[in-house]
């Protein structure tokens, strides 16, 4: 989750909240990754009902270099919106396209996926090396173990980690 969170950061995690209110787009969550109890910290990118795609050939300006972007249709309706993510760490490192019906990276063109009820699409902020929904698929709500509320250590970085997403017409 670099640069948002660093190894050694200590976090307050709300473990009750996800049982009372579904995590929102932009929330940083603790996800149970497998039956062995391994957990990871990821960012919620799309919530149930959203349509998500990753386009690995997006170009911002004429002559610009292609790079991946997350495209979203909130609640599955309206025009595509590009997710603005000022918190991500640099380049993704490779062109990517998503999503198959499980949320995994696929093929050579974007494939939109509308998330079914109770399923979330999560990504790490360090996209070039993150193991996230692109690798392990959609995350059911019962595997969201908690929502990160704040970092309390180190003291000089204490506070709420950035969770703001912006969306602009694609």
List pLDDT tens digits, range 51-84.
999 988 877 777 777 788 899 999 999 999 998 8
Give me the chain's average pLDDT, please.
87
Residue 151 lies in a domain: yes
**Domain tally, the chain:** 1
Residue 63 lies in a domain: yes
DSSP code, position 6: -
- In the predicted model, what is the mean pLDDT of residues 98-116? 90
Residue 166 lies in a domain: no
Residue 30 lies in a domain: yes
Distance from C-alpha of 143 to C-alpha of 119, rounded to nearest angstrom: 10
Distance from C-alpha of 41 to C-alpha of 144, rounded to nearest angstrom: 10
Q: Which residues of 116-129 are buried (b: 16+ CB within 10 A; e: fewer)?
A: eeebbbbbbbbbee
Residue 167 lies in a domain: no
The model's confidence at residue 132, banded by pLDDT at 50, 70 and 90, is very high
DSSP 76-119: G-SS-EEEE-TTS-S--SS---B--TTS-B-SSS---EEPPTTE
Residue 127 lies in a domain: yes
- In the predicted model, what is the mean pLDDT of residues 120-128? 91
- Residues 2 and 89: beta-carbon distance below 8 Å: yes
Q: Is the pLDDT of residue 116 over 90?
A: yes
List pLDDT tens digits, range 23-34.
999 999 999 977
CATH code of residue 37: 2.10.109.10
Distance from C-alpha of 98 to C-alpha of 110, rounded to nearest angstrom: 5
Element (H, E) at 18: helix 17-20
Residue 164 lies in a domain: no
List pLDDT tens digits, range 144-170.
999 999 888 888 887 787 766 677 776
- Residues 110 and 117: beta-carbon distance below 8 Å: no
Domain of 68 in residue numbering reads as 10-159
What confidence score (pLDDT) does residue 87 get? 80
Residue 54 lies in a domain: yes
List beta partners, residue 113: 52
């Amino acid at each position: 989750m670099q640069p948002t969170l660093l190894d050694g950061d200590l976090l307050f995690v709300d473990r009750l909240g996800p049982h009372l209110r579904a995590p929102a787009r932009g929330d940083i969550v603790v996800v149970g990754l497998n039956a062995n109890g391994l957990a990871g910290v990821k960012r919620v990118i799309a919530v149930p009902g959203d349509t998500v795609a990753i386009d690995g050939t997006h170009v911002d300006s004429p002559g610009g270099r292609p790079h991946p972007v997350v495209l979203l249709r909130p609640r599955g309706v309206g025009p595509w919106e590009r997710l603005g993510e000022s918190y991500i760490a640099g380049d993704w490192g490779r062109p990517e396209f998503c999503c198959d019906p499980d949320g995994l990276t696929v093929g050579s063109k974007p494939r939109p996926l509308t998330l079914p009820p109770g399923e979330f699409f999560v990504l790490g902020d360090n996209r070039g090396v993150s193991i996230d929904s692109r690798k392990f698929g959609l995350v059911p709500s019962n595997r969201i173990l908690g929502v990160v509320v704040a970092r309390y250590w180190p003291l000089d970085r204490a506070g709420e980690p950035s969770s703001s997403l912006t969306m602009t017409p694609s």
